[in-house]
Amino acid sequence: MSDSKRERKLGLRLGEIAEAVGGDLRGSADLLITGAASVEDASIGDIVFGESDKYLRMADKSDASAVVAKKGSSCQKPAVLVDDVRLAFAKILELFAVEERRPPLGVDPSSRVGERFNLGEGSAVGFGCWIGDDVSIGRRSVIHPLVYIGDGVSIGDDCVIKPNVTVLYGCKIGDRVIIHPGAVIGSDGFGYVTGSSGALKIPHIGGVIIGDDVEIGACTAIDRAKTGFTQIGSGVKIDNLVHVAHNVKIGTNCLIAAQTGIAGSSQVGKNVMLAGQTGVKDHVRIGDGAVITADAGVIGDVPDGEMYSGYPARPHRQWLRSQAAIVRLEEALDEIKRLRQEVDSLKSLVERLDVR
C-alpha cells in the first residue's frame, strides 16, 4: 500500500489538516480525523463544514470530531479556523479523496492504436480503446477503458479521459483537461439546407479546440464547427448534459451548469456563469462577467457584467418586478371578481326596487 493510500485509510491528524489548508488550529493537533462529512451525516472521526452559525450549532450537537469554521467563530468542537470556509473544505475533501484506479503505464494490449501514434512519458491507455492515426497524447495523461480517439487528435499533458468518451477527428485538447464518461467532443453540428427534396445535411469540416484546465461533464456534447473551430477557453467548467453547438466560442473561466444548451455561432465571454437549463439562441453574445440564472432563455445580446433572468431573458431586477406584477395581477383579478359580484348584487337590488 502506498503512503498516500495508507494515510487515507488511517486518517490525518487535525494539526496536519490545519497546516494543509493554512488555517489556525483550535484543539489538539494530535486528534485523529478519518474522514470529511456533512453535518447531517457526521460520525466520530469526521470533520464537518461550519460556514454559518446554523451549521456550527448543528456541528456542536453532532458526532463530528472537528469542524472547519471562519476565523472568529464560536464553537465547542475542536476546529480549523480559516478565512474562506468553502475553499478550505474543498481542500480537505481532496485530502480524503480516494485515488481513482488508473490503467498501467503504456498501452493495454487490447487497445487498437493507429499509425504515427505518439504517447508521452508516464501516460496510460486502458482496456479496449480505439486510437486513430496521427494521434498525440502528452505526458502523464490517462486514457481510461473504452475511449474512442479519432484521427489527428491531440491531447495535452496531465489529462484524464474517462471511460466511454468519444473524441472525433481533428480535435485539439489542452493540458490538465478532465472529460467525464459519455462525453462526445467533435460530433457533427446541426446544420441542414431545406428544399423541395427535403433537408440536405451541411458537412461540418471544422473541429473543436479545448483550452487548458477545462473540465467537461458526463454526457456533454460539443459539436465541431462547420469551418474553423468550436472553442472552449481555458479554465472553463462544464456540467453534465450540456450541449455546445457548432462554432460557439466560450471565453476563459466560465461555469456552465447542467442541461444548458448554447446554439450555433454564439459567443460567451470570460468569467460568465450559466445556471442550469439555460438556453442560448444562435448568433448572440453574452458579455464578460455576465450571470444567466436558471431556466432563462437568452434571445439577444447580454451586456458585460449583467445578470439576466426569465424567458425571454432580461435584466434580473426587471424580471423580479414582472414576477411581482404577476402576483399583483392575480390579486387584482380576485378583486375584480369580488367587485363584479357586488355590482351584480346592486343590480339585483335596483331591479327589485324598480318592480315595487
Task: Give the active site residues.
Answer: 246
* Rg of the Cα atoms in the chain: 28
Interatomic CA distance for residues 228 and 208, integer angstroms: 8
State the residue for C-alpha cell 469540416: 205
Cβ neighbours of residue 179 closer than 8 Å, sequence gap 6 or more: 159, 160, 161, 162, 165, 167, 173, 185, 215, 216
Respond yes or no on whether the N-terminal peptide bond of residue 145 is cis (omega within 30° of 0).
Answer: no
Pick the closest to residue 273 from 323, 228, 307 (CA basis).
307
Are the C-beta atoms of residues 310 and 294 closer than 8 Å to each other? no
Are the C-beta atoms of residues 189 and 247 closer than 8 Å to each other? yes
Are the C-beta atoms of residues 306 and 315 closer than 8 Å to each other? yes
Strands 124-125 and 136-137: unpaired
Pick the closest to residue 100 from 163, 41, 49 (CA basis).
163
State residue 334 phi and psi, 5-degree precision: -65, -40
Handedness of CA 75, 81, 87, 89 (dihedral sign): negative
Are the C-beta atoms of residues 72 and 78 closer than 8 Å to each other? no
Are the C-beta atoms of residues 16 and 80 closer than 8 Å to each other? no
Interatomic CA distance for residues 279 and 153, integer angstroms: 30
Interatomic CA distance for residues 353 and 273, integer angstroms: 68
Interatomic CA distance for residues 102 and 142, integer angstroms: 7
